[in-house]
Homo-oligomer: A and B are copies of this chain.
Amino acid sequence: MRAKVHIYPKPGVLDPQAKAVGNALAGLGFDGIGELRQGKLFELELEASDAASARARVEDMCERLLANTVIENYRVEIEE
């Protein structure tokens, strides 16, 4: 089974990397850009009997390693 994990800074958390990218884009002449957020993306293959147990395992991975849940939110997508 294939899982995708999207990890973003929580709303309100200072995101200096996204700010730097936004400024760099403006410097290159791209104007009219509003909110910009930068996140991480994991795509993994895992063995699981069904989508629900795959989701539970990937959420456990997020809580324990992939995301810093103090400052980041995560979203898991399971593709069968």
Question: Hey, which bits of chain A sit against chain B, CB under 8 A?
Answer: 6-8, 21, 24-25, 28, 30, 32-48, 57, 60-61, 64-66
Contact = CB atoms under 8 A, between A and B. Distances in A.
A8 to B, nearest CB: 7
Interface secondary structure of A, over-half rule: strand
A38 B61 CA distance: 14
Contact of A35 (B6, B44, B57, B64): B44
A57 to B, nearest CB: 7
B37 A44 contact: yes
A65 B32 contact: no
A72 to B, nearest CB: 12
Contacts of A45: 33-36
